[in-house]
Amino acid sequence: YNELLNYSLRNEISKNNQKLREYIVSRALIGALGEDEEEVVESEKTKEEPEEEIEEWKGDYLGLSIPWEKKFRKK
């Protein structure tokens, strides 16, 4: 008996909030698409990374980029 009342209440709330839920989901999907291609190309042209950041990225001080098989293979 109580479950039927709970379901009917949830159903009414769902009907009342349907437009809001659709709006939220659509905004999330649009936001997930990202930037326009033109904006990305333009930002890449103006973006210059400092050499220090590039060297830091390329450097592997801890040896994490070496595959396990190569690092510990039997010789």
Report the number of distinct structural domains present in the chain. 1
Print pLDDT tens along the chain (75 aa). Answer: 689 999 999 999 999 999 999 999 888 888 777 755 556 556 555 555 566 666 666 666 676 777 777 878 776
Q: To the nearest 5 percent, what fractions of the chain are helix, strand and coil?
A: 70, 0, 30
The residue range of the domain holding 17 is: 2-71
Is pTM, for the whole model, over 0.85? no
